[in-house]
Amino acid sequence: MPPSAPQPDRRWTWLTAGIGVLLGLVTGLLTAVQATRVVDGVPVGALAAFGANFGGGVLIGWGLRAREAAALPAFGWLLAVFLLIALPRPGGDVLLPGSGAPVVAFLLGGIAGSPASIFVAAALLRRQAKAANSGSRSQLPSAAPTASRPDDIDRPGAAARDTTDGASPNSRTSR
């Protein structure tokens, strides 16, 4: 019975997923400060929110090797932004006003970063899988046969290479 492939440690998967959501929460708080800022007609908050969700999503999706994981930073970002909008603050302070083109661009830019990161992460993972299947990666030669590669191990009675007499490695003789 061939040995099964080693399973990844689930704790690291959950830890990385939590880091992805935490990354989204932090970027949600940091980019919300820039939500109403406009420089030369360009909404800085929208670009920052898109870039943070896109970059963080691609990084987490590639790191966890799952395109769905690319949505984790955007989930944290949305959570932070909705909490900033919904939670009351003393004195009636408003961090994210409910109207205005820069705020709408901020929300749309942040939301658009998630599907973009999912598509890019999926393309990266597809390319990586294709490269692994085609064998285009350089692999180090194995020093000795292993039990995980049974075709490398000569079985009793099977034909084996005998190169001790100076014959070519392609000639086979019985033991």
> Per-residue pLDDT tens for 134-148?
865 555 444 444 455
Quote the number of domains for the chain.
1
List pLDDT tens digits, range 25-76. 999 999 888 888 889 988 998 999 999 999 999 999 988 888 889 999 999 9
Contacts 24+ apart (CB under 8 A), 125-128: 125/61, 125/62, 125/65, 125/66, 125/67
Higher pLDDT, 154 or 127: 127
Q: Does residue 173 belong to any structural domain of this protein?
A: no
Q: Does residue 122 belong to any structural domain of this protein?
A: yes
Q: Does residue 114 belong to any structural domain of this protein?
A: yes
Q: pTM of the full predicted structure?
A: 0.66
CB 151 within 8 Å of CB 104: no
Q: Does residue 2 belong to any structural domain of this protein?
A: no
Q: Does residue 148 belong to any structural domain of this protein?
A: no
For 86, other C-beta atoms within 10 Å of its C-beta total 8
Q: Does residue 174 belong to any structural domain of this protein?
A: no
Instruction: Categorize the per-residue pLDDT at 170 as very low, low, confident or very high, splitting at 50, 70 and 90.
Output: low
Domain that holds residue 118: 10-134
